[in-house]
Amino acid sequence: MTPPTSSLRMALRAAPLRSVQSSHAPRRAPSSRRALQVFSEGNGRFIVGGNWKCNGTKASVTALIDELNAGQLSGAKVDIVVAPTFLHIHTAMAGLDASRFQVAAQNSWVEDFNDPTHHYDSNTGAFTGEVSAEMLEDMGIPWVILGHSERRTLMGETDAIVGKKVAHARFHGLNVIACVGETLAERESNSTLEVIFRQLQAVADEIDDREHSSWGSQVVIAYEPVWAIGTGKVATPEQVQEVHAAIRKWLADNVSAEVSKATRIQYGGSVNAGNCEELAKFSDVDGFLVGGASLKGEDFIKICNSSAVHYKAVGRM
């Protein structure tokens, strides 16, 4: 793989989404509203991620692994990725049924962001407290979550930093779940798509034209509206579909039609066992990135099994 470069710079284009009506969860759009936007549904395999965040003890992680291994999957095609803390990755890799579950790290490092001599073939060094993409590659950890809003907000990661991290992780062969999403204020100001496209462009700027295939097969986009993460508020299925369709169109316009179809777009934002099937019915919802509900084995398995609802709804059984 060639080192990532800043080579893909295209104009952003799309109309803003309608705004949230209040600081509470948006109400479902009435049926009299305009037809739901569908650009062109993807053809990728349904994927569900479980982000365990900063949770877990030796006992609770072992119990959760036992619950997941005992869970009955519906048989529908689904990729399942769980992201324990760094301390619990070894336990998860050793204990989970590897034929059904893959493991992700929650973050990875990438050298000096402002160094013009930045070398993508080595990202180890004097970075206390960090874990490098090279280390994840060496340990055989196949996935990493990057750009989560909690990293952006709490750790000050900019769009440019996230873009470099994604490209760096890809250079080391890692599959990436790249998170994008808007705050409540940004949605209410009709800036949702502007924000998301800016975040996507920062990734595109770091992926070489010759590596566009990375988008479809190794980079998953997770749309996570910040106002819906851990709050119990969930975007309506129509709002989720509208954003996902816009992301897919952006990929077609700025990367390629093939990548647009192949890239999987997850929804994350208080997804749970009670709302997953309704969300999964929409054509451009290719899976979920789940927070709190991923810590409950039975609930998480039900969310994974919503893949059957998705395939049936889009006619891909």
CATH number at residue 233: 3.20.20.70
- Domain assignment present for residue 299? The answer is yes
224 counts as catalytic: yes
- pLDDT at position 18 over 70: no
User: Per the structure block, which two tokens stand in for 16?
Assistant: 């803003």
Please tell me the distance from the alpha carbon of residue 317 to that of residue 311, in angstroms, as a whole number: 5
Give the end-to-end CA distance of the chain in Å, rounded to a whole number.
Answer: 35
Q: Quick one: average pLDDT of 128-138?
A: 93
- Residue 30, in any domain of the structure: no
Q: Is 36 among the domain residues?
A: no
- State yes or no: is 148 an active-site residue: yes
Residue 52 located in a structural domain? yes
Average pLDDT over residues 291-295: 97
Region 262-274: mean pLDDT is 94
Domain membership of residue 186 (yes or no) is yes
The active-site residue, picked from 41, 88, 134, 148, is: 148
Note the pLDDT of residue 212: 52
How much is the pTM? 0.85
- Asked if residue 123 has pLDDT above 80, the reply is no
Residue 8 within a domain = no
Domain that holds residue 268: 47-111+121-313
**Residue scoring higher pLDDT (77 or 111):** 77
DSSP letter assigned to residue 160: H
Orientation of helix 192-204 relative to helix 159-171, angle to 10°: 40
Q: Is residue 251 very low, low, confident or very high in pLDDT (cuts 50, 70, 90)?
A: very high
* Tally of domains within the chain: 1
Task: Quote the pLDDT of residue 37.
Answer: 63
The pLDDT-based confidence of 12 (bands split at 50, 70, 90) is very low
Per DSSP, which regions of the chain are E strands?
47-51, 79-83, 102-105, 143-146, 175-180, 219-223, 265-267, 287-290
Mean pLDDT of the chain: 84
13-22, 139-148, 199-208 — which is least confidently predicted?
A: 13-22
Task: With beta carbons less than 8 A apart as the criterion, state whether 209 and 253 touch.
Answer: no
Query: Quick one: CA dihedral 235, 237, 239, 244, positive or negative?
Result: positive
Q: pLDDT tens across 142-179, in order?
A: 999 999 999 999 999 999 999 999 999 998 999 999 99
Whether 90 maps to a domain, the answer reads: yes
Asked whether the predicted pLDDT for residue 3 surpasses 50, the reply is no
Of 111, 186, 224, 242, the active-site residue reads 224
Instruction: Give how far the C-alpha of residue 51 lies from the chain's centroid of Cα atoms, to the nearest Å.
Output: 10
Let me know if residue 116 belongs to a domain.
no
